[in-house]
Amino acid sequence: MSVLDVRHLNVRIPTEDGVIHAVRDVSFSVDSGDFFGIVGESGSGKSVLVQAIMGLIPGARITGEVWFDGHDLLTMKPDALRKIRGRAISMIFQDPLSSLHPQFTIGWQIVEQIRTHRKVSRAEARRMTVEILGKVGIPDPDTRFSAYPHQFSGGMRQRVMIAMALVLNPALIIADEPTTALDSTVQAQILDLLHEMREEFDATILMITHDLTVLARVADNMMVMYAGHKLEAGPARELFARPAHPYTSGLLRSSPGNYEPGTPLVPIPGKPPSLLNPVTGCVFAPRCPDAMSKCWSETPPLRTYSNGLETSCWLTEAPSEPEASEEMQDVSTLPITVLNPNTTELATPIVQINDLELSFRSKRGRTSVDVLRGIDLAIFRGETLGLVGESGCGKSTLARVIAGLIPATGGKVHLAGHDLSTVNHEQWRSLRREVQLVFQDPYGSLNPRRRVGSIIGDPFRIHRISSGEKRKKSVQQLMELVGLNPEHYNRFPSQFSGGQRQRIGIARALALNPSIIIYDEPVSALDVSIQAQVLNLMSSLQKEFNLTYLFISHDLAVVRHVCDRIAVMDKGKIVELAATEQLYADPQHDFTKVLLEASAPEEKPQSRAFPELLSTVHAGDLTAGDLIAGGVR
Amino acid sequence: MARFLLSRVGFGLLVLFLLSLFVFLLFFIAPGDPARVIAGDKATVEVLAQIRAKLGLDEPIYVQYWLFISNVFQGDLGFSYRNQLPVIDIVVDRIPVTVSLVFGGVILWLGIGIPIGVMSARKPGSVRDRLGQSFAVVGISFPSFVLGMMALYVLYFLPAKAGWKLFPPSGYIPLTVDPLQWAWHLVLPWCTLALVSAAIYARLMRGQMLEVLGEDYIRTARAKGLTERRVVYRHAMRSAMPPLVTQLGTDIGLMLGGVIVIEQVFGLLGVGNLAVSAVNNQDRPVVIGVVLLGGLFVVVMNIIVDTLYAFLDSRIRTAA
């Protein structure tokens, strides 16, 4: 029996730029007791879909039907829908810090939820709250009842959110990216908790995520969304093992975890379309390796396969597996003079750190916090050193010390043979060329009011290397090198996608031929298909120019894929440092083991026979009733 | 908390000390002879010298300042050049008028400004929002003396011509004498004062509310199934208030130092009025007294706001 039945849902959101058609004729149903996953990249419409059916997007124009408990949620009066929210359908959101009210105690917030929907005394509501807090694993729930959200860690906050979602025993729990903002070890705990709670409360869970690996662990059934469309749905196991849609198979191909480390990834080329424009044919056709001529003109049919998969695609055989190709053109033909490949000096460390200490003093110097505690590290030319650890372990701070942005309070840092604590201002100026940073957030780290050409040209200007036409030429060569169109020299960052912006950051870092480039979570803000493109670019640049990378990440699959050696950091110390495969095969330190366990690789898709096609429903075959209900054009 | 308060009070005292030094120096540099002010144009040189000696004006500036500041610590701000009354009495005498004006105004402008701001923010771009925004623009662009004179013309002059006594044009009746008369005399000044500030606060509130209503925890509140009323007035208001409290503290502190224009228009003998006449009369001790009083109000209000903040923000409260 289905708990939630969505039929021909369309969501249009009016904006200044036009009407965004965020969800386009999506139908699916979630069975009672199911763990149902919706996966999609940013802009796929997955969050909009659930928020729209819950009446949480003001101004959205919604058509279709959403059946829940005998009622169509879309035709309900706002007040009736409000009574379902939080009682029969509850929600868990991505960022547990911003999703809880900072000025109320967590106990108060849960009690409020109970008393909104049920006539119980304050004392009873409090008892229920303490009980549920205990169940989701909050230690000492009776005293923590009166604590504020900021007094909890991220994982504990998400437990509070889950407690709030469970307390009224709802028929359906919608979790919107519940683990995305959390460290990988915590992420695993939260997923396990959701799983347990589903058993205990006999709840149905609808989980939205961009992360396929997360769903592979927990989902029974799932749906793949792309640009507002449902492309494929079915049992999660089958979907991972033998996807019938080229997009699903492309997503799986883009995950570094599915590759031998060091081999180039096969990304999905291109980027998602704008949701402002109407679609003719298949929405994925421009990026599809198997696109046929009719994919561009005719709406794909819905095909049902013997393994339970439903796929919206013209293809009737297994999607092809394109080979990895070097995305870049032959760089040797480029008249780049700033870059200087150098294949010798393998044994000389570019960065040498001895017993590095860093502590921050609080106001008036009464207490101090040790952020880095006795770090020894050497980074050699041409290698990629991975730095992994949970948030707050000091990995970004270490990067900043190496880049000279924060002075160390103890120990020595040698950069390209210079001791950072003794260099003077002038020497620093030239040393800065040797170390460059690429930051995590491609949206926040580029000045939105400056043109891309001048952003990438900054290093040439600051170090007075070239100006005018000469600088412009160098910048355009760099743009070409990182796969940007040099004609876009005069555009602003906002006119580029996330992946392209990260290429801008890489181009800027490359400009001065630095000894080392520090990447601080360079791909964690990017979608998996785009992430693969950027990772490929990084590794081909490294091969071409013998670059040295320090690669900071929390994503172990990515780190394993790109790094030669990995340093594991915990509480300001490097607890283990080993060659990548050795670290994975034989982790020594307990913390490394925990970290590896939390990100245990999902099962790789097995090459099984492609399932039998059971039925095909063409867009034109829809019944008159469907047409009226769904507003299908 | 006690530590925090102590440091704020110490800092406040330092501010007041610097303020007194600054005003004192300003007068020393400024042209004009106090003795001449006191004695008048026809005074002889001997008389002037006598006055200077009596007031200590022939001493070097640091001695004068020392005398002044040591008296201040004994609660003595000196005597008015004009009528020889103690400055402290003159100033304190004016405080009830200004306090009545400001606090009545505050209640009125919060009562108008906050609802308009919330209403606008709940449906940005709607007719209600545009009306609220127009109110804000009009209110902010009107100088208060124009508003005051319009109020006088429409609500006093026109009715008086027709033989009605709607509102009194000026004057102040102490609250302790007759509360009804007190309020009746203050209605027009209150409204004038409130209208301008209400416009500013409506705008501030709208901005704050819009920001808060976009927060994730507001989405959570809605997802919990709370009524829209509760989402707005309990959850959103709670976060939108602190910046308003800051602004309000500063505004009250500043205004208690004298609401010059409105006091003039409505003939209220408050601190602002005193400041104007003291400056006109070159009555140096009174001006210094008024400035120090204004500074004191600002400092005190700031301490109150900082303390309130700790109660309003759980993150500050629990960090201590």
Which structure tokens are listed for A203?
């709840």
Give A517's strand partners.
Answer: A436, A549
Q: How much is the average pLDDT of B45-51?
A: 84
* A83 → closest Cβ in B222, B225, B239: B225
Q: Indicate whether A82 belongs to any domain.
A: yes
Check whether B184 has a pLDDT greater than 70.
yes
3-state class (DSSP) for residue A497? coil
Which structural domain, as residue segments, surrounds residue A76?
2-88+170-312
Q: Which of residues 22-41 of B touch A (CB under 8 A)?
A: none
Interface contact flag, B225 A82, Cβ < 8 Å? yes
Instruction: Quickly list H helices, chain B.
Output: 2-29, 34-39, 45-55, 61-73, 87-122, 127-141, 144-152, 158-161, 179-213, 216-223, 228-230, 237-256, 260-265, 271-280, 284-312, 314-319
Q: What angle do CA A53, A57, A63 make, to 5 degrees?
A: 45
SS3 at position A175: strand
Q: For chain B, list the domains and their CATH numbers.
A: 2-73 (no CATH), 95-319 (1.10.3720.10)
**Residue keyed to tokens 């509760």:** B230
Question: Closest-CA residue in chain B for A104?
Answer: B314
C-alpha–C-alpha distance, residues A8 and A622, integer Å: 11
ipTM for the complex? 0.81
Confidence label for B205 from pLDDT (cuts 50, 70 and 90): very high
Which residue among A90, A116, A164 sits closest to B226, beta carbon to beta carbon? Answer: A116
- Judging by beta carbons within 10 Å of its beta carbon (0-12, 13-18, 19+), is residue A104 exposed, middle or buried? buried
Q: Which of A296, A312, A328 is the last residue of a domain?
A: A312
**Cα B247 vs. chain centroid, distance in angstroms?**
12
Q: Tell me which of A16, A92, A95, A101 to substitute to probe the interface with B (most B C-beta atoms closer than 10 Å).
A: A101
CA distance, residue A146 to nearest chain B CA (Å): 11
Q: Is the same domain home to A270 and A401? A: no
Residue A337 is encoded by which pair of tokens? 């003079």
The answer to whether residues A239 and A381 belong to one domain is no
Q: What is the pLDDT of residue A130?
A: 95
Residues in chain A with CB shorter than 8 Å from the CB of B314 are 102-105, 148, 150
The list of chain A residues with pLDDT below 50 reads 327-345, 623-633
C-alpha triplet A77, A82, A86: angle, nearest 5°: 150
Does A158 touch chain B if contact means CB atoms closer than 8 Å?
Answer: no
- A373 and A291 in a common domain: no
- Please tell me whether residues A243 and A348 are part of one structural domain: no
Q: Which of A312, A332, A350 is the last residue in one of the domains?
A: A312
Q: Min CA distance, A165 vs chain B (Å)?
A: 8
Domain annotation covers residue A464? yes
Task: Judge if A508 and A455 occupy the same domain.
Answer: yes
Instruction: Return the amino acid letter for A78.
Output: P
Cβ–Cβ gap B220/A101 under 8 Å = yes
Task: With CA atoms as reference, report the closest residue to A379 among A405, A355, A348.
Answer: A348
Closest CA to A252 of A303, A315, A318, A305: A318
Contact between chains at B224 and A93 (C-beta distance less than 8 A): no
B222 Cβ under 8 Å from any chain A Cβ: yes
Out of B222, B239, B318, the one facing A148 most closely (by C-beta) is: B318
Q: Has residue A498 been placed in a domain?
A: yes
CB contact under 8 A, B221 and A101: yes
Which chain B positions have a beta carbon within 8 Å of A161's beta carbon? 220
Residues A241 and A376 in one domain: no
Both A459 and A589 in a single domain?
A: yes
Q: Is B313 on the interface with A (CB under 8 A)?
A: yes
- Choose between A272 and B319: higher pLDDT: A272
Tell me the two tokens of residue A521. 């979570």
Q: Cβ separation of B225 and A86 shorter than 8 Å?
A: yes
Contact B223 A148 (CB under 8 A): no
In this structure, is residue A336 part of a structural domain?
Answer: no
> Cβ contact (<8 Å) for B220 and A103?
no
pTM, two decimals, is 0.81
Q: Do A102 and B220 count as a contact with CB atoms less than 8 A apart?
A: no
Q: How far does the CA of residue B227 sit from the closest CA of chain A (Å)?
A: 7
Of A56, A103, A105, the CB nearest to B223: A56
CATH of the domain at A402: 3.40.50.300
Whole-number Å distance between alpha carbons of A436 and A432:
7
Residue of B220, B226, B313 lying closest to A99 (CB–CB): B220
Nearest-Cα distance to chain A for B134, in Å, is: 22
Residue B217 has pLDDT above 90, yes or no: yes
Tell me how far CA of residue A323 lies from CA of A320, A620, B220, B282, in angstroms. 9, 36, 45, 91
- How far is A125 from chain B, CA to nearest CA, in Å? 15
Report yes or no on A108 lying in a domain.
Answer: no
pLDDT per residue as tens digits for the range B134-170: 998 988 888 888 888 888 888 888 888 888 887 888 8
Q: Using one digit for the tens of pLDDT, what is the confidence trace for B70-89?
A: 888 888 888 888 888 898 99
Same domain, A367 and A417: yes
- Say whether both A407 and A508 belong to one domain: yes
Contacts B216 to A, Cβ<8 Å:
93-95, 98-99
The rounded distance, in Å, linking the Cα atoms of A8 and B193 is 57
Q: Does any CB of chain A come closer than 8 Å to the CB of residue B224?
A: yes
Give the one of A51, A95, A148 whose C-beta lies nearest to B314's C-beta.
Answer: A148
**Is the separation of the CB atoms in A184 and A203 below 8 Å?**
no
A102 at interface of B, judged by CB pairs closer than 8 A: yes
Percent of chain B with pLDDT over 90: 34
For residue A105, the chain B residues in CB contact (below 8 A) are 314
> Do residues A83 and A208 share a domain?
yes
pLDDT at A334: 41
Tens-place pLDDT, residues B14-40: 999 999 889 888 877 777 777 777 777
- Please choose, from the candidates A65, A61, A51, the residue with its C-alpha nearest in 3D space to the C-alpha of residue A4: A65
Contacts of B233 in chain A (CB under 8 A): none
Q: Find chain B residues with C-beta within 8 A of A93's C-beta.
A: 216, 219-220, 223
Two tokens, residue A46: 């997955």
In a domain, A615, yes or no: no
Is residue A103 within 8 angstroms of chain B, CB to CB? yes
State whether residue A117 sits within 8 Å of chain B by CB. Answer: yes
* Inter-CA distances, A259 with A287, A610, A625, Å: 21, 21, 46
Nearest CB partner across the interface for B224, out of A85, A98, A151 = A85
Q: Does A207 touch chain B (CB under 8 A)?
A: no
DSSP alpha helix (H) spans, A447-497: 452-462, 468-481
Contact B312 A95 (CB under 8 A): no
Residue whose pair of structure tokens reads 């013209």 in the numeric block: A314
| Residue position matching structure tokens 């140096």 | B284
Q: Do A85 and B217 touch (CB under 8 A)?
A: no
Question: Rounded to an integer, what distance in angstroms lies between the CA atom of residue B155 and that of residue B169?
Answer: 9
CB contact under 8 A, A90 and B239: no
What is the rounded end-to-end Cα distance, in angstroms, of chain A? 30
Long-range contacts at A607-611 (CB < 8 A, ≥ 24 apart): A608/A241, A608/A242, A610/A242, A610/A244, A610/A317, A610/A318, A611/A238, A611/A242, A611/A244, A611/A305, A611/A306, A611/A307, A611/A309
Same domain? For A349 and A291 the reply is no
Interhelix angle B2-29/B61-73, nearest 10 degrees: 140
Q: Do B225 and A87 touch (CB under 8 A)?
A: yes
Please list every residue in chain B whose beta carbon sits closer than 8 Å to the beta carbon of residue A112.
224, 226
Which class for A300: exposed (0-12), middle (13-18), buried (19 or more C-beta within 10 A)?
buried
In a domain, A384, yes or no: yes
A2–chain B nearest CA distance, Å: 22
In a domain, A81, yes or no: yes
Cβ distance A101 to B222 less than 8 Å, yes or no, reads no
Q: Looking at the partner chain, which of A82, A86, A93 has a beta carbon nearest the beta carbon of B219?
A: A93
- Structural domains of chain A, count: 2
Contacts with A170 from chain B: Cβ below 8 Å: none
What's A516-574 look like in SS3? Answer: EEEEECCCCCCCHHHHHHHHHHHHHHHHHHCCCEEEEECCHHHHHHHCCEEEEEECCEE
Size of interface A-B (CB pairs under 8 A): 74
- From B212, which residue of chain A is nearest by alpha-carbon distance? A101
Per-residue pLDDT at A606: 56
- Residues of chain A found within 8 Å of residue B211, distances taken between Cβ atoms: none
Say what the pLDDT of residue A608 is: 63
- The span from the CA of A107 to the CA of A140, in Å, is 13
CA pair distance B35, B44, nearest whole angstrom: 11
Closest residue, chain A, to B222 (C-alpha): A56
Q: How far is A570 from chain B (nearest CA, A)?
A: 26
Interface test with A, best of B215, B229, B309, B314 (most A CBs within 10 A): B314
Cβ-nearest to B217 among A85, A101, A151: A101
How far apart, in Å, are the Cα atoms of A480 and each of A29, A454, A485, A489?
Answer: 46, 15, 6, 11
The answer to whether the Cβ–Cβ distance between A103 and B216 falls below 8 Å is no
Distance from CA of A76 to the nearest CA of B (A): 14
> Is the domain of A306 the same as that of A347?
no
